[in-house]
Structure 1
Amino acid sequence: MARILKHEIPAASEFTLPLYEGSKLLKLDVVNEKAYIWALEDESKPKRGVKFRMVMTGEELNLDPFMVYIGTFILFNGSFVGHLFMDTSVPVAMSIGL
């Protein structure tokens, strides 16, 4: 059975979130000064650690070609702007519907 689940984005430049295989990312947004992603997930599937990378505006970066842009979020009245990328080098049949 599929459900829409919410995952908090930690304050880290690189992190892994446990998502169910085949999940579809639906939205990236901010609630009460915390960033989250919402995903349509089938809880009957196995969980996989999906790697993400977050960079700030103006930060120098060298992204591998398998890093896919997810979205941008703004915190603290614009004093922090983060750009989220997902690692697709290990295929887990994820999709992005943002």
Structure 2
Amino acid sequence: MSNRILKYEIPVATEFTLQLNQGSRIIKVAVINEKAYLWAIAPQENTIIPVNFRVVMTGEESELPYTYQYIDTFILCYGEFVGHLFVDTSVPQHMKSFGL
């Protein structure tokens, strides 16, 4: 099965859901023109599933469920905002490899 790399914008929100291809694997988080994005390797299939994410700011108190795994850190507003991206892995068994 062939794969492709897809780009998704990370919205300005503490919690959000992205529609990703089933079996996707996040490979990069970066900022372009003050917008945060993530890239994922996605199988060339049309099954799309919702995946939940959470952004925690540096210094913010947060009680993340143990099912959330750290993905990467991104910096916006010339260092004024430093966000740490987590993905919810409490998804069906076919997605356990998602995220890392």
Please confirm whether the aligned pair reaches a TM-score higher than 0.5, indicating the same fold: yes
Distance (Å, rounded) in 2 between the aligned partners of 1:89 and 1:41: 19
Q: How far is 1:95 from its partner?
A: 3.0
Seen in structure 2, the aligned counterparts of structure 1 residues 50 and 94 have a Cα distance that, compared at 3 Å, is farther
The TM-score with structure 1 as length reference comes to 0.92
Note the 1:34-53 alignment, pairs <5 A. Answer: 34-53=35-54
Paired with 1:87 and 1:96, the residues of 2 have a C-alpha distance of 9
Counterpart residue number, 2:98: 95
Q: Give the structure 1 partner of residue 77 of structure 2.
A: 76
Deviation at 1:47, TM superposition (A): 0.5
**Any idea what SS the aligned residue of 2:82 has?**
strand
**5+ residue gaps, structure 1:** none
Give the residue type in structure 2 aligned to 1:51.
N
Kept after mapping to 2: 8 A contact 1:54/1:83: yes
Offset at residue 93 of structure 1 (A)? 4.1
Report if aligned partners of 2:29, 2:36 keep a CA contact under 8 Å in 1: yes
What's the CA shift for 1:54?
0.4
Does the Cα contact within 8 Å between 1:21 and 1:93 map onto a contact in 2? no
| CA distance, structure 1, for counterparts of residue 16 and residue 63 of structure 2 | 17
Structure 2: unaligned runs, 5 residues or longer: none
Superposed CA deviations along residues 50-94 of structure 1, whole A, max 9, x for unmatched, are: 000001111110011000000100011100100100000013244
- How many matched pairs? 97
Q: Secondary structure at the match of 1:77?
A: helix
Percent identical across equivalent pairs? 54
Greater Cα offset, 72-81 or 39-48 = 39-48
Tell me how far 1:10 sits from its aligned partner. 0.2
